[in-house]
């Protein structure tokens, strides 16, 4: 075959992804550079796996349109240093084949070389001996062979041999790799992807990379202290397509800087000690739509040492800094805006969602729960660094999320299933979030780990809530309130108050108007608290920060003892149903 169209291109991509994904754990084991966090395989797999689900849906016959479609999705899914580099390479490849319905080997090779050039430019400090080197040498060999041979089978075969050759050399090119006696994990990931592509033309003959036993030394022997604390990524809609300007702005704040993407979307990756400072600079350059911050110290110090790893879905609200500090894994629900789905707080930030809610009155909003597969991936991630996984889910009465979280346990290997405990918080937002503070308090006090799930089950009924809703319009749209309730509140000119009891939303009264709403919510809530006890408290809001602050001020001056007061905006998946102007107070006794 000397030319491929859309159908063949899809098969090439399919085989590449499948070959890489099945060896993801292998890549994790040998991951020592740039930091030994044991997640290169997961990052590359999570960058590429979403494409597999799209292959059956897309019937496009043009190579350029297919490549552009896959590249855009890959860019938004990119995880980690290697994932961002890989996504940039594919994005640039798609740019290089624009206007081409099919590809010859010469055109394929030329596109690879152009993609390599742009990928090097996306990095602030390109480092040889990494995935970059393997991609570059593979592309150069593909082009060289294609200049004299036209068949894809022979060109891929010879380029794959060169790819394997340069991969072997990476273990001598970087000190960390040489010391650990391993090849570069990201480089191996690209090689596996390329070998999978080559398999498309091998008549079913599968040739896998032969990993030597010496490459699989125990991970703990290769762990070293990272030079910086956080592996951070942001999705940015830039004001201008000037990547160099952004690199220059953030270069003093970290290392391993990669900025992938095109004119209207950047994926910004950096290892830094100060993610907040980086984000502040990025906000001046565009609109932040996603963020991901992983604590490399936490991964290093607690690798397979923690008793519990915590997992939550985005129907539960906790401060983002707590997620980072305690390594809490987030499983996003989905928000649909005008028929386009976004992963809550991953592809859709709180700021972006509430800006659109304020400015675009005709929004069509829906929500969708995470799949069991989403939870399974989170459990596997948690079990890599902890003995057990503790899962907090939004009320099972209000959402099917809890059912999926529980079903996901059965997808794990038999010996792992008993290490995962799933808790129905019977609540949402900070009502569930306060239970996480309670659990962390138990962990910090060294309460026997096997008793923690039962302790949380005992106290979850003690969470008290009172929520002011400015309009029931959004809850009715989402099926969380009957139409008659909306008609009556509008007809009577009153504002509804809601609470959560028995895991479901219940009517808690009405207010004649929104005047002094924050003060009234605080007073009604304080009446139910016992002055002799100490509490956790949480104040959550959608768009009306001012009234939520009134609640905070009132409870702080009340004389009731609060060990901690949390103040935050509600996740978009909850804001869809609460609507603008909603806010609430949640409390949980500590003792």
DSSP state of 2: -
Provide the 10 A C-beta neighbour count for residue 237. 14
Residue 498 has pLDDT above 60, yes or no: yes
- Residue 246's closest CA among 232, 258, 230? 258
Q: What is the DSSP letter of 123?
A: B
Q: Domain-by-domain residue ranges, the chain?
A: 3-206, 225-295, 302-333+369-459, 463-589
Please state the pTM of the whole predicted model: 0.65
Give 380 or 212, the one with higher predicted confidence: 380
Tens of pLDDT, residues 181-195: 889 999 999 999 999
Label residues 514-546 b or e (16+ Cβ within 10 Å = b). eeebbebbbebbbeebeeeeebbbbbbbbbbee
Average pLDDT over residues 396-422: 94
**β partners of residue 258:** 123, 269
Q: How confident is the model at residue 218 (pLDDT cuts 50, 70, 90)?
A: very low
pLDDT tens-place string over residues 124-162: 889 999 999 999 999 999 999 999 988 999 999 999 999
- Percent of the chain past pLDDT 70, that is, above it, reads 90
- Top CATH class of 225-295 equals alpha beta
Average pLDDT over residues 163-177: 91
CA–CA gap between residue 549 and residue 250 (Å, rounded): 33
Q: Mark out the alpha helices in 258-314 (DSSP H runs).
A: 275-283, 296-301
> Cβ distance 436 to 328 under 8 Å?
yes
- Does the pLDDT value for residue 55 go beyond 70? yes
How far apart (Å, rounded) are the C-alpha atoms in residues 80 and 28?
Answer: 12
Contact 381, 46 (CB under 8 A): no
* pLDDT of 281: 95
Higher per-residue confidence, 493 vs 199: 199
Q: What's the chain's average pLDDT?
A: 87
44 and 189 Cβ atoms separated by less than 8 Å: yes
* pLDDT band for position 548 (cuts 50, 70, 90): very high
How confident is the model over 103-130, as a mean pLDDT?
95
- Name 153's bridge partners: none
Q: Angle of helix 131-146 relative to helix 105-122, nearest 10 degrees?
A: 150
Which pLDDT band, with edges at 50, 70 and 90, does 321 fall under? confident
Residue-wise pLDDT tens digits, 534-545: 999 999 999 999
Assess contact for 430 and 586: CB atoms under 8 A.
yes
Backbone angles phi, psi at 154, to 5 degrees: -70, -35
Half-sphere exposure of 461 (CA within 13 A, CB side): 4
Burial of 274 (0-12, 13-18, 19+ CB in 10 A): middle
Q: Which is it for strands 583-589 and 464-468: parallel, antiparallel or unpaired?
A: antiparallel
In this structure, of 90-94, 126-130, 146-150, 484-488, the range with the lowest mean pLDDT score is 484-488
Query: If you ran DSSP here, which 8-state letter would residue 481 be given?
Result: S
53 or 500, which is more confident: 500
Q: What is the pLDDT of residues 347-360, one digit of tens each?
A: 788 988 998 888 88
Q: Which of 322, 315, 306, 459 is nearest to 390 (CA)?
A: 306
Report pLDDT for 36. Answer: 67
Peptide bond into 34 cis (omega under 30): yes
The band of 591, judged by pLDDT with boundaries at 50, 70 and 90, is: confident
Q: What is the pLDDT of residue 21?
A: 87
Architecture of the structural domain at 3-206: Alpha Horseshoe (1.25)
CATH 3.40.190.10 fits 463-589, yes or no: no
Between CA 185 and CA 38 the distance in angstroms is 9
pLDDT at residue 492, rounded to an integer: 43
Tell me the fold of 302-333+369-459.
Rossmann fold (3.40.50)
Is residue 68 a contact partner of residue 13, using CB atoms and an 8 Å limit? Answer: no
pLDDT of residue 221: 44
Whether 3-206 shares its CATH topology with 302-333+369-459 is answered no
Question: How far, CA to CA in Å, does 237 sit from each of 67, 256, 263, 285, 320?
Answer: 21, 21, 9, 8, 21
pLDDT tens, 284-318? 999 887 777 877 766 555 444 578 999 999 999 99
pLDDT bracket for residue 479 (50, 70, 90)? low
Please give the average per-residue pLDDT across 405-434, as a whole number: 95
Across residues 24-51, what is the average pLDDT? 81
The sign of the dihedral angle between the CA atoms of 439, 441, 443, 445 is negative
Burial per residue of 134-164, b for 16 or more beta-carbon CB atoms within 10 angstroms, e otherwise: bbbbbbbbbbbbbeebeebbebbbbbbebbb
From 285, 259, 250, select the one nearest 75 (Cα to Cα): 259
Asked whether the predicted pLDDT for residue 207 surpasses 70, the reply is: no
- pLDDT grade for 480, boundaries at 50, 70 and 90: low
- Asked if residue 89 has pLDDT above 60, the reply is yes
The confidence score (pLDDT) of residue 540 equals 98
- Rounded-to-integer distance, Cα 519 and Cα 305, Å: 46
Residue 489 scores a pLDDT above 60: no
Confidence band for 509, pLDDT divided at 50, 70 and 90: confident
**DSSP state, residue 348:** B
434 pLDDT band, cuts 50/70/90, is very high
Q: Which of 313, 317, 480, 342 is nearest to 402 (CA)?
A: 313
What pLDDT, on a 0 to 100 scale, did the predictor assign at position 291? 77
Residue 49 confidence (pLDDT): 85
The confidence score (pLDDT) of residue 297 equals 66
The three state secondary structure string of 214-272 is HHHCCHHHHCCCCCCCEEEEEEEEECCCCHHHHHHHHHHHEEEEEEEECCCCEEEEEEE
Contact 232, 270 (CB under 8 A): yes
pLDDT at position 73: 85
């Amino acid at each position: 075959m000397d030319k491929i169209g859309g159908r063949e291109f899809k098969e090439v991509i399919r085989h590449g992804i499948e070959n890489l994904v099945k060896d993801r754990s292998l890549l994790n084991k040998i991951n020592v550079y740039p930091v030994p966090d044991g997640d290169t395989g997961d990052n590359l797999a999570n960058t590429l796996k979403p494409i597999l689900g799209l292959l059956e849906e897309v019937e496009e016959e043009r190579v350029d349109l297919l490549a552009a479609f896959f590249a855009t999705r890959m860019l938004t899914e990119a995880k980690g240093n290697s994932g961002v580099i890989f996504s940039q390479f594919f994005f640039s490849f798609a740019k290089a084949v624009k206007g081409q319905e099919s590809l010859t080997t010469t055109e394929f090779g030329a596109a690879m070389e152009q993609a390599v050039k742009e990928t090097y430019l996306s990095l602030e400090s390109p480092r040889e001996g990494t995935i970059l080197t393997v991609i570059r040498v593979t592309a150069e060999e593909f082009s060289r062979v294609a200049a004299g041979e036209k068949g894809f089978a022979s060109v891929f075969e010879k380029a794959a041999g060169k790819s394997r050759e340069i991969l072997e050399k990476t273990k001598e090119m970087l000190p960390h790799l040489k010391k650990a006696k391993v090849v570069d994990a990201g480089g191996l990931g690209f090689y596996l992807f390329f070998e999978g592509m080559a398999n498309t033309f091998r008549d079913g003959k599968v040739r896998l990379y032969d990993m030597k036993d010496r490459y699989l030394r125990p991970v703990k022997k290769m762990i070293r202290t990272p030079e910086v604390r956080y592996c951070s990524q942001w999705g940015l809609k830039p004001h201008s397509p000037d990547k160099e300007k952004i690199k220059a702005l953030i270069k003093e704040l970290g290392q391993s800087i990669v900025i992938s993407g095109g004119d209207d979307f950047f994926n910004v990756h950096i290892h830094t000690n100060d993610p907040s400072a980086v984000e502040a600079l990025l906000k001046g350059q565009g609109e932040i739509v996603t963020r991901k911050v992983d604590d490399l110290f936490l991964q290093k110090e607690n690798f397979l040492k923690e008793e519990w790893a915590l997992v939550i879905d985005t129907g539960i609200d906790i401060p983002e800094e707590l997620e980072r500090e305690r390594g809490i894994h987030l499983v996003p629900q989905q928000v649909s805006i005008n028929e386009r789905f976004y992963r809550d707080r991953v592809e859709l930030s709180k700021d972006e969602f509430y800006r659109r809610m304020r400015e675009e009155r005709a929004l069509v909003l829906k929500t969708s729960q995470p799949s069991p597969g989403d939870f399974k991936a989170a459990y596997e991630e948690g079990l890599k660094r902890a003995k057990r996984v503790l899962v907090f889910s939004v009320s099972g009465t209000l959402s099917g999320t809890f059912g999926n979280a529980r079903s996901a346990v059965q997808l794990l290997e038999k010996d792992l299933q008993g290490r995962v405990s799933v808790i129905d918080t019977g609540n949402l937002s900070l009502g569930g979030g306060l239970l996480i503070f309670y659990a962390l308090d138990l962990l910090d006090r060294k309460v026997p780990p096997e008793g923690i799930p039962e302790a949380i089950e005992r106290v979850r009924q003690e969470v008290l809530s009172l929520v002011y809703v400015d309009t029931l319009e959004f809850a009715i749209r989402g099926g969380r309130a009957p139409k008659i309730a909306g008609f009556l509140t509008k007809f009577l000119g009153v504002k509804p108050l809601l609470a959560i009891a028995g895991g479901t939303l219940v009517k808690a009264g009405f207010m004649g108007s929104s005047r002094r709403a924050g003060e009234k919510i605080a007073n009604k809530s304080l009446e139910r608290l016992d002055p002799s006890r100490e509490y956790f408290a949480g104040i959550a809001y959608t768009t009306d920060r001012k009234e939520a602050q009134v609640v905070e001020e009132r409870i702080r001056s009340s004389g009731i003892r609060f060990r901690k007061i949390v103040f935050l905006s509600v996740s978009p998946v909850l804001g869809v149903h609460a609507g603008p102007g909603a806010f609430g107070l949640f409390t949980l006794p500590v003792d």
